[in-house]
């Protein structure tokens, strides 16, 4: 009985992940680990903002105008209350507004990149697989759009969408319009990469085999080609996320993004800039530093991912 082979226990998913090359290079890169930690910390504090934030800055009942312009860590002259990062002109706790603002920034960024990704993958797969006129039209459109800086395209889409929405809904719709504008300005990258990869994949044997057994074009694109072109898409998505967060902040800073009723980090910086000369530096500094930390760490993570998934570039 003793020479019966011991059945090999199948590896758990966690084990596979821990044994992968990706995890190995991750553990070898201090920059990647630090940025991942920063991203994780920021994302978690944004998600759990209602639990962490000492006050809800958008609940008028919790605000006390007497608390306005309290410097960080010093008790207010009238109420004696003190705030970790100070308060703004309306007595809102800066720490809380940053947490809630980061929620909006991250939501807009992630949703816009997701939208751009879905759109870009779809159009890229179709133009690569179908070819012909469809491909010409899609890729020409992409070329034309690429001529213009994406921030300009986003501004324009935002302006048009704002003109189309009725005045009373403009503030409510602003967040969704932002997602649409940034997403539409950013699909080209995805489409180009997916199209290129699809052109390579579609002549391989497994696609021919799938075609021979009679699978439909849609099924071949989604079930066979898509999984094989995803790794560059992942890299672009990460780098796009950093760009989308900056784009959102820029638009909001310019006053053509998130409204003051739903401020993102960019809106907070816009508000804070007004107090630069009167000496209330904390209203500006802390949102700016948060934005910088967020954008920089996502960016560095993207760089690392690109190098890790594509060793040729190193």
Partner 1 sequence: MLAYIIQRVGQSALVLLIVGLVAFSMFRFVGDPIDNMLGQERTAEDIDRLRAQLGLDQPFVVQYYKFLEGAVQGNFGVSYRQGRPVAEILLERAPATLELAMVSGVLAILFGIALGVFTAIRRDGVLANVIMSASLLGVSLPTFLIGILLIYLFSVELGWLPSFGRGETVDLGGWSTGFLTESGLKALILPSITLGLYQMTLIMRLVRSEMLEVLRQDYIRFARARGLRDRAVNFRHALKNTMVPVITVIGLQLGAIIAFAIITETVFQWPGVGLLFINAIQFVDIPVMAAYLMLISVMFVGINLLVDILYFFIDPRLRADRSGGH
Binding site for partner 1 (CB under 8 A): 144, 147-149, 151-152, 155-156, 158-160, 162-164, 242, 246, 249-250, 253-256, 269, 273, 276-277, 281, 284, 288, 291-292, 295-296, 299
Given the complex with partner 1, which of 155 and 221 has the nearer CB atom?
155
Given the complex with partner 1, which of 46 and 284 has the nearer CB atom?
284
Residues contacting residue 37 through CB under 8 Å, at least 6 positions apart: none
Given the complex with partner 1, which of 106 and 226 has the nearer CB atom?
106
CB of 64 to partner 1, least distance (A): 29
CB of 132 to partner 1, least distance (A): 19
CB of 242 to partner 1, least distance (A): 7
Given the complex with partner 1, which of 90 and 250 has the nearer CB atom?
250
Given the complex with partner 1, which of 91 and 272 has the nearer CB atom?
272
Concatenate the DSSP letters of all residues of the chain into one string. Answer: -TTSPPPPPPPPHHHHHHHSHHHHHHHH-HHHHHHHHHHHHHHHHHHTHHHH-SS-TT-GGG--GGGTTPPTTS--TTT----TT-B-TT--BHHHHHHHHHHHHHHHHHHHHHHHHHHHHHHHHHHHHH-HHHHHHHHHHHHHHHHS-HHHHHHHHHHHHHHHS-GGGHHHHHHHHHHHHHHHTSHHHHHHHHHHHHHHHTTSHHHHHHHHTT--HHHIIIIIIHHHHHHHHHHHHHHHHHHHHHHHHHHHHHTSSS-TTS--HHHHHHHHHTTTTTT-THHHHHHHHHHHHHHHHHHHHHHHHHHHH-GGG-
Given the complex with partner 1, which of 182 and 291 has the nearer CB atom?
291
Given the complex with partner 1, which of 13 and 312 has the nearer CB atom?
312
CB of 298 to partner 1, least distance (A): 9
What whole-number distance in Å separates Cα of residue 226 and Cα of residue 232?
A: 11
CB of 161 to partner 1, least distance (A): 9
CB of 147 to partner 1, least distance (A): 5
CB of 247 to partner 1, least distance (A): 9
């Amino acid at each position: 009985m003793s020479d019966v082979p011991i059945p090999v226990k199948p590896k758990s998913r966690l084990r596979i992940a821990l044994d992968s090359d990706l995890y190995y290079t991750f553990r070898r890169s201090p920059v990647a680990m630090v940025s991942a930690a920063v991203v994780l910390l920021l994302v978690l504090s944004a998600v759990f903002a209602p639990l962490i934030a000492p006050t809800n800055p958008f609940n008028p009942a919790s605000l006390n105008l007497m608390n306005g312009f309290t410097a960080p860590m010093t008790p207010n002259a009238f109420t004696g209350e003190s705030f970790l990062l100070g308060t703004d002109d309306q007595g809102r706790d800066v720490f809380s507004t940053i947490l809630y603002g980061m929620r909006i920034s991250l939501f807009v960024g992630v949703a816009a990149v997701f939208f751009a990704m879905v759109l870009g993958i779809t159009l890229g797969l179709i133009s690569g697989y179908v070819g012909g006129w469809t491909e010409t039209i899609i890729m020409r459109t992409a070329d034309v759009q690429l001529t213009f800086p994406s921030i300009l395209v986003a501004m324009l889409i935002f302006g048009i969408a704002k003109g189309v929405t009725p005045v009373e809904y403009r503030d409510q719709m602003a967040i969704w319009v932002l997602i649409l504008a940034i997403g539409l300005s950013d699909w080209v990258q995805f489409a180009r990469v997916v199209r290129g990869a699809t052109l390579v994949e579609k002549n391989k044997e497994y696609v021919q085999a799938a075609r021979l057994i009679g699978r439909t074009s849609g099924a071949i694109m989604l079930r066979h080609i898509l999984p094989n072109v995803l790794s560059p898409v992942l890299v672009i998505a990460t780098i796009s996320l950093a760009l989308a967060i900056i784009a959102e902040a820029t638009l909001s800073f310019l006053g053509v993004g998130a409204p003051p009723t739903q401020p993102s980090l960019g809106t907070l910086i816009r508000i804070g800039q007004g107090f630069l000369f009167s000496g209330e530096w904390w209203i500006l500094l802390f949102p700016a530093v948060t934005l910088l930390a967020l954008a920089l760490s996502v960016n560095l993570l993207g760089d690392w991912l690109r190098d890790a998934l594509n060793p040729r570039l190193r």
